[in-house]
Amino acid sequence: MSDDERRVLITGTGVVSPIGKSTEEFWKHLIAGKSGAGPITRFDASGYDTRFACEVKDFTTEGLVDRKDAKRMDRFVQFAVVAAHEAIQSSALDLERVDHDRVGVILGSGIGGMETFETQHTVLMERGPARVSPFFVPMMISDMAAGQVSIQFGLRGPNFATVSACASGAHAIGEALRLIRAGDADVILAGGCEATITPMAMAGFGNARTLSTRNDDPQRASRPFDQERDGFVIGEGAGIIVLESEDHARRRDAPLLCELAGYGASADAFHITAPSADGNGAARAMRRALDDARQSPEDVLYINAHGTSTPTGDPIEVQAVKTVFGEHARRLMMSSTKSMTGHLLGAAGGLEAVVTALILARGIVPPTINLERPDPQCDLDFVPNQARPQVVRAALSNSFGFGGHNVTLAVRAVM
């Protein structure tokens, strides 16, 4: 960040998650170490190797979205609109008093409207092309979460989607940071949304051998950094933050959670699903975020890990952290909240940015649950099983995606 670029603050959060459909409910259960995993209820999964996931239960748009509009939104879009409502409300952003041309929306989704795609494909096969919904394409495409949030609130600033698998939400937030710094917007709603607990998605991830098959004990299945981990648990939901230029936020006396201080992105250029074995891509993303924030590694006390609970990915992330932080890696805390929420894929970076901002604002670090027998290769402080009161002034959030996409966001306390 150059001297003439504007500082960017986080002023609001919106959450739809497997452990809470608002920020406060989510945070309460996160700190308590509650797992959101359970048997799949959205379809009959009895013939699948993995029969559980982290679903958002009892979700509704009632009272927030017109019923006709809601029927024309895929589930991932509905999650985004509901989370955006809360984010705007929590930031105390008065839409009657802001310049709508300078308020943008950037939301990531790794897969988009998978449920709509599957449903309409069934219609095509069973009833013919004439019966496919004319809303099929605008319900399915990944940019429609950003588009619908813009439409619902009349926000006419920069508006687009980022699609980079499990890094999508974090990429959205990083690009929003750049646009506000450059003066192209005063406020941007940024984050991610995903809804892929569907028959095709579960079959595809399952046949790729990426999912846990701990069907007899779903709540203990997501166990990042544990020796007995056997894959990730799919989750769904949305995490959205409100980003504002510092002068805009202070002028309206907005609630200030923390500063989004840096953004680093890189590519492994290695493999379509596996991370580079030396962790070089992840390490470069972390270094770039630190450089962008003008912070030294020693400033950082906490990292929200990508930490998916896969046999390959977890130790590689640990190696990358050691490469960047050296001996300081032993002094920082690093937890994976995916142990509770499951892996929200393209929404993960948005939800975990919310987590990281709240840690700075509230002075307590959520745990990595189910960490009972640490992998010898994973030998850092993962805040096992219990939340820890701790003032944190600077932190990172990591998001890494299929295709070798790496993103790190750097946040720090507002001075």
Name the active-site residue from 171, 248, 306, 405.
Answer: 306
Cβ-Cβ contacts under 8 Å for 142 (sequence gap 6 or more) = 109, 110, 111, 112, 113, 161, 163
Beta strands (DSSP E) in 203-278 are: 237-245, 258-267
What pLDDT, in 10s, does the model give residues 318-363? 999 999 999 999 999 999 999 999 999 999 999 999 999 999 999 9
Query: Of these residues, 29, 248, 343, 405, which one is catalytic?
Result: 343
The confidence band for 2, taking pLDDT boundaries of 50, 70 and 90, is low
- Distance CA(202)–CA(13), nearest Å, equals 29
Answer whether 9-251 and 261-412 agree in fold: yes
Is the domain defined by 9-251 classed in CATH 3.40.47.10?
yes
Distance CA 41, CA 193 (A): 20
The pLDDT value given to residue 104: 98
CB 195 within 8 A of CB 75: yes
* Secondary structure E strands in 185-305: 187-194, 237-245, 258-267, 302-304
Q: Is 166 among the residues known to form the active site?
A: yes
Give the mean pLDDT of 398-413: 97
Within 10 angstroms of residue 123's Cβ, the number of other Cβ atoms is: 16
Domains of the chain, by residue range, sit at 9-251, 261-412
pLDDT tens readout for residues 183-197:
999 999 999 999 999
Under 8 Å between Cβ of 74 and 118: no
Own/partner pairs, 62-69, CB within 8 angstroms, 24+ separation: 65/152, 69/148, 69/152
d(CA 286, CA 279): 11
What is the CATH superfamily name and number for domain 261-412? Thiolase/Chalcone synthase (3.40.47.10)
pLDDT at 101 over 70: yes
Q: Are 200 and 206 in contact (CB under 8 A)?
A: no
**Mean pLDDT confidence for 225-244:** 98
The DSSP bridge partners found for residue 394 are 412
Whether the pLDDT of residue 413 is over 90: the answer is yes
Residue 210 in contact with residue 128, Cβ under 8 Å? no
Share of the chain above pLDDT 70, in %: 99
Q: What is the pLDDT of residue 372?
A: 97
* Widest pairwise Cα distance in the chain: 64
pLDDT at 6: 86
Q: What are the tens digits of pLDDT across the range 197-206?
A: 999 999 999 9
Mean pLDDT in the chain? Answer: 97
Q: What is the pLDDT of residue 59?
A: 98
pLDDT digits (tens, 9 = 90+) for 20-78: 999 999 999 999 999 999 999 999 999 999 999 999 999 999 999 999 999 999 999 99
pTM exceeds 0.95 for this model: yes
Per DSSP, the three-state class of 259 is strand
Residue 315, pLDDT > 90, answer yes
Which residue in 54, 85, 166, 405 is the catalytic one? 166
